Amino acid sequence: MHSSVIRLVQGRLAWYAPGGGPPGGGPPGDDAPEAVDAPQWLDDEDVRQQLRAALTQQRSRPRFAAPGGDVRLLRVPVSAAEKKHIAKSLPFMLEEQVVEDIEGLHFASVPLDKLELGVAVCSREKMLAWRALLEDFPGIQQWVPEQLLLPWREGEWCVVLEGDDAIVRFDSFGGFSIECELLSVMLSGLLAERDEPAAIILYGSDQAADTALIPEPLRDRVQWRRGSLRSAMLLSEPQPSVNLRQGEFTARLPVMRWWREWRAVAAVFAVAFGLQLVAGYLDYLKLQRENQSLRAAVEASYREAYPRGAVVDAETQLQRQLAALRGSGQSSGFVHLVEQVGAAIAANPGTSVATLNYNFSDRGGEMRMNIEAADFEAVERVRADINQAGLQAIMESSSARGDRVRARLRVGEKS
């Protein structure tokens, strides 16, 4: 036996610790000591403490052997589509195969093949009762029907006789528990549905009386051994099996126990986290006020230079204004335009600038000016010189006043 097993024996919880067996490690036989099969009873407080310690230290993976008489095992074929929703549909699929109302039954399943499930059925009332019995041992998370704890090999049946009851396993997922007086009838019915076994491994205490419980056609197949369920489990190899703790009975994390252990630490962490949030929020308010003050100061400085117009990004707007005034190799600023136009005016004696306006935009600067010249030819020479300097001069209007000519020019970068 590779793990602890807890089971009900005549209404008492018994603990079968891992290991055991007769001296030398061989299988229990006629001379096996009685002490080998004796369990430890969990109504003894010392034994309960030992089991709790074993569970806490995780020295073994304990299993609860659910009484076989309270659990029915079924093989259920399913389709690929049904497998997707099997948890919800399984009770309704088996409604015709059970006598009780499905609302009062608990169903647990395990895949046996791609299109076959092994299903264990028992009453919810029993599940609740077992959960109450095992409440002090939360580490027991595997609940297995006791008939599936018996050793089994292909072509063999295993029968364990204990008092007035018999536990039978005849398949990888097949078995039952029944009163000894009905064993012969049940085995005969089983024989009518299945092939004869090559051997029947029979555990009991009286070879002649035990063998007499086997149907006459099968008695020559009996291999009798002295022992009980514990003796049989010593030879059982661990195999994947159905766990009754499914659905509403799934093992839950011990959240409340963890909370009791860590609530003081959680409280300290919560207080520290809260203080950190408050300090961070106060810093945010302080920085927000400083930012508003700085923005107000920047806007005030901008208004000193440019009293009119909307302020969107004062720093960027100031940089653009300064770039336009400075001029550069890539754009015609005010100074650059005046320099070019001034050179064209100076090259034509008798020509002067009457008025000059400069407009700035994101696409560059543009100058509008009124000039006075001796005649129209002088005005055209000025316009041609400006164009030759790399700018674009457009005459918007011209008029003669006495012996002078007045013209309006628009000057900017060539488009």
| Residue pLDDT, tens place only, 384-394 | 988 888 888 88
Higher per-residue pLDDT: 226 or 61: 226
| Residue pLDDT, tens place only, 20-35 | 443 333 333 444 445 5
Higher per-residue pLDDT: 27 or 94: 94
Higher per-residue pLDDT: 324 or 243: 243
Q: What percent of the chain lies above the pLDDT cut of 70?
A: 87
Across 72-76, 161-165, 177-181, 399-403, least confident range: 399-403
| Residue pLDDT, tens place only, 272-326 | 999 999 999 999 999 999 988 888 888 887 777 777 777 777 777 777 776 656 5
* pLDDT given at position 181: 94
Spell out the residues 6+ positions from residue 410 whose beta carbon is closer than 8 angstroms to its own.
366, 367, 368, 393, 394, 396
Beta strands, E only, 55-190: 63-66, 72-77, 105-113, 116-123, 142-145, 156-162, 165-171, 174-179
Domains, the chain, ranges and CATH?
5-252 (3.30.420.380), 253-311 (no CATH), 320-413 (3.30.1360.100)
* pLDDT given at position 81: 83
Asked if residues 409 and 394 have their Cβ atoms less than 8 Å apart, the reply is yes
Average pLDDT for 40-65: 86
Higher per-residue pLDDT: 64 or 234: 64
**pTM for the predicted model, two decimal places:** 0.58
* pLDDT given at position 197: 94
* pLDDT given at position 62: 85
Average pLDDT for 350-375: 80
Residue 133 has pLDDT above 50, yes or no: yes
Cβ-based burial of 379 (10 A; exposed 0-12, middle 13-18, buried ≥19): buried
Residue 159 has pLDDT above 90, yes or no: yes
Name residue, tokens 């008798």.
350
Average pLDDT for 373-379: 88
Higher per-residue pLDDT: 177 or 84: 177
Asked if residues 371 and 383 have their Cβ atoms less than 8 Å apart, the reply is no
Asked if residues 67 and 147 have their Cβ atoms less than 8 Å apart, the reply is no
Mean pLDDT for the chain? 84
Residue 117 has pLDDT above 60, yes or no: yes
Residue 53 has pLDDT above 70, yes or no: yes
Residue 103 has pLDDT above 60, yes or no: yes
| Residue pLDDT, tens place only, 252-275 | 655 666 677 788 888 889 999 999
Q: Which two tokens stand for residue 237?
A: 């190899």
- Tell me how far apart the alpha carbons of residues 293 and 303 are, in angstroms, rounded to a whole number: 15
Side-chain-facing half-sphere of 281: CA atoms under 13 Å: 6
Name residue, tokens 């009791």.
260
Average pLDDT for 178-183: 95
